[in-house]
Amino acid sequence: MDQGSNSMKRRPTIAVIMDENTSAGGDRYDISKRYFAAIDRAGGFPYGIPYVPDLVDQVVDEFDGFLSVGGRINFPKQWYVDGDQSRYPISDRLAVEIALMKGFLARDKPVLGVCNGMQMLGCLHGCRMVSDVHSSWSGAINHDRGNPLHEVTIQAGTRMADIFAAETFSVNTFHREAIVELSDSVVATARGLDGVVEAIEVPSLSFAMGVQWHPELFDPADHPGSRIFDAFVEAANQRL
């Protein structure tokens, strides 16, 4: 390796929790390649993390950021509004992911949550959710119906508003569950036209953000929502 290569700054490493085929028995890891492509495009090196509890401390120590991807797993009952609970399967992912997210948050390392990941980020900071937003939220569109697009409005004055540099844009939607009660620790940074929370951030941390849509599925060249990956990897890069 020449001197120029030796002097190059390393790229930030991003731990990506693996998803699984919960709808077909939960016996396989199952995750979209687009998450990894989005992190790579933004300048980071993504690594898939399996559900091995003994890995948690080492991952938190050695990685620069954590990406919590979409999925459908059984969350704790106390994360839901009174009288509600998850309708999804029990998963080995839950305990490992909670430990990972708590570990990265405790060290103020960047955390990005997508869909399921946004809900976990919010609930770890005192928010509460519902298992079926379409039946629980008056006037809610059906957010779990074959990838429909709908508009979101970005909250001015938030860090996400600076990232997206757009007041409104259309997003995809694949979720049945949704955050409906915010804690004082969390700010809603985007809402759908039906009022459903579509993005959050934790102002007390350097980068702890979540989006309900799937930005990895959009063309990064022309969709404002994809800029969240650039900001996430840049936040991780700042720790090098």
| Residue 148 pLDDT grade (very low, low, confident, very high; cuts 50, 70, 90) | confident
* 119 and 68 Cβ atoms separated by less than 8 Å: no
Cα(100)–Cα(22) distance, rounded to whole angstroms?
A: 20
Predicted pLDDT at 147? 61
Cα(227)–Cα(138) distance, rounded to whole angstroms?
A: 31
Is the pLDDT at 2 greater than 70? The verdict is no
Is the pLDDT at 185 greater than 90? The verdict is yes
Cα(156)–Cα(158) distance, rounded to whole angstroms?
A: 6
- Lookup: tokens for 115: 């869909």
Closest listed residue to residue 133, CA positions, set 80, 182, 91, 204: 80
Predicted pLDDT at 171? 93
Per-residue pLDDT reduced to its tens digit, 96-111:
999 999 999 999 999 9
DSSP assignment string, 80-111: BPTT----SPP-THHHHHHHHHHHHHHTT--E
Q: What is the mean pLDDT of residues 40-68?
A: 98
Q: What percent of the chain has pLDDT over 90?
A: 79
Is the pLDDT at 146 greater than 80? The verdict is no
Predicted pLDDT at 151? 92
Is the pLDDT at 39 greater than 70? The verdict is yes
Q: What is the mean pLDDT of residues 38-50?
A: 97
pTM metric for this prediction: 0.93
Cα(238)–Cα(70) distance, rounded to whole angstroms?
A: 26
**Residue with the two structure tokens 């980020």:** 121
- Lookup: tokens for 110: 């960047």
Per-residue pLDDT reduced to its tens digit, 7-30:
578 999 999 999 999 878 888 999
Proportion of the chain in helix, strand, coil states, percent, rounded to 5: 30, 20, 45
Q: Which residues contact 148 (CB under 8 A, 6 or more apart)?
A: 141, 142, 172, 173
The helix/strand/coil state of 34 is helix
How high does pLDDT run on average in the chain? 92
**Residue with the two structure tokens 């933004």:** 42
Predicted pLDDT at 137? 64
Is the pLDDT at 152 greater than 90? The verdict is yes
* 198 and 191 Cβ atoms separated by less than 8 Å: yes
Burial 115-138 (b: 16+ CB within 10 A, else e): bbbbbbbbbbbebbbbbebbebbe
Q: What is the 3-state secondary structure (H, E, C) of 129-164?
A: EECCHHHHCCCCCCCCCCCCEEEEEECCCCHHHHHH
Q: Which residue has the higher pLDDT, 144 or 136?
A: 136
